[in-house]
């Protein structure tokens, strides 16, 4: 399986998939919807799928002496690796923002969502939605990428919009905690995001395997 992942990283991946990991650093930006960083990371992954499709990468992979489910597994491993790298950058940005910049007025007076554990949990959810809607959707045909990506865009920005709006409702202000405030609640929300990501991704992988097995390449 390490070989199929290396194939994805070296042959199938677009350079943009790696460059767009840096959008995880958008968690540093004050006065900006930081969760858009998660969307831009997935946009880089989308470019990889577009490049691979034009090169008939799926047909090439299917001709290798591996099971069809391993082709799916290679794509999922690559996508999850990119997402994990971006999440690490988001977490580092969040920790620095919550500690070293704790007293910075530009962050304290931020009207939009703070880069906290809740935001990181929502980023996990957005990546899970990408894996379910786009990645699993791609393996319905192993060719069409436009429709599943458009559906994902709608779902992603609805999620971002709801997450940005929630802390403006009475009683939900702790969702936008700054620094180490409401740490218990923040940890619970982060855990919920991580669990959601794992469950959604596993379900997406199983669905993708079933659909890909039905395709006659």
Q: What is the pLDDT of residues 172-189, one digit of tens each?
A: 888 888 877 888 999 999
* Cα–Cα distance for residue pair 185/167, rounded to 1 Å: 13
Predicted local distance difference test score (pLDDT) of residue 48: 93
When pLDDT is averaged across residues 19-42 and rounded to a whole number, the result is 94
- Residue 44's pLDDT band, with cuts at 50, 70 and 90, is very high
The set of residues, in sequence order, having a beta carbon less than 8 Å from that of 69 and lying 6+ positions away, is: 209, 212, 213
Q: Over the chain, what HEC string results?
A: CHHHHHHHHHHHCCHHHHHHHHHHHHHHCCCCCCCHHHHHHHHHHHHHHHHHHHCCHHHHHHCCCCCHHHHHHHHHHHHHHHHHHHHHHHHHHHHHHHHCCCCCHHHHCCCCCCCCHHHHHHHHHHHHHHHHHHHHHHCCCCCCCHHHHHHHHHHHHHHHHHHHHHCCCCCCHHHHCCCCCCHHHHHHHHHHHHHHHHHHHHHHHHHHHHHHHHCCC
Extract the tokens encoding 113.
């969502």
Predicted local distance difference test score (pLDDT) of residue 207: 96
pLDDT of residue 8 exceeding 90, the answer is no
| Higher per-residue pLDDT: 209 or 106 | 209
Predicted local distance difference test score (pLDDT) of residue 18: 96
* Cα–Cα distance for residue pair 177/117, rounded to 1 Å: 9
Looking at the chain, how many residues does it have?
Answer: 217
pLDDT digits (tens, 9 = 90+) for 52-106: 888 888 888 878 888 889 899 999 999 999 999 999 999 999 999 888 887 788 7
- Residue 111's pLDDT band, with cuts at 50, 70 and 90, is confident
Radius of gyration from C-alpha coordinates of the chain = 18
Distance set, CA 168 to CA 49, 120, 146, 177 (Å): 37, 18, 34, 12
What's the number of domains the chain is made of? 1
- Give the range of the structural domain holding residue 149, as residue numbers without chain letter: 2-214
Of 33-37, 73-77, 100-104, 119-123, minimum mean pLDDT range? 100-104
pLDDT of residue 216 exceeding 80, the answer is no
Distance set, CA 44 to CA 17, 67, 71, 77, 95 (Å): 4, 27, 20, 15, 25
């Amino acid at each position: 399986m390490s070989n199929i992942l290396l194939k994805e990283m070296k042959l199938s991946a677009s350079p943009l998939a790696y460059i767009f990991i840096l959008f995880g650093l958008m968690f540093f930006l004050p006065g900006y919807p930081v969760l858009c960083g998660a969307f831009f990371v997935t946009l880089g992954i989308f470019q990889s799928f577009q490049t691979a499709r034009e090169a008939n990468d799926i047909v090439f992979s299917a001709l290798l002496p591996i099971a069809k489910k391993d082709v799916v597994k290679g794509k999922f491993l690559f996508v999850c690796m990119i997402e994990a790298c971006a999440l690490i950058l988001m977490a580092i940005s969040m920790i620095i923002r919550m500690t070293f910049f704790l007293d910075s007025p530009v962050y304290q007076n931020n009207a939009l969502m703070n880069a906290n554990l809740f935001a990181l949990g929502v980023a996990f959810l957005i990546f899970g939605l990408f894996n379910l809607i786009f990645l699993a959707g791609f393996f319905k045909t192993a060719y069409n990428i436009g429709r599943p990506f458009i559906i994902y865009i709608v779902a992603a920005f609805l999620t971002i919009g709801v997450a940005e709006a929630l802390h403006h409702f009475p009683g939900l202000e702790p969702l936008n905690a700054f620094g180490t405030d409401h740490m218990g609640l923040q940890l619970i929300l982060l855990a919920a995001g991580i669990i959601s990501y794992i469950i959604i991704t596993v379900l997406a992988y199983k669905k993708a395997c079933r659909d890909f097995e039905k395709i006659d390449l």
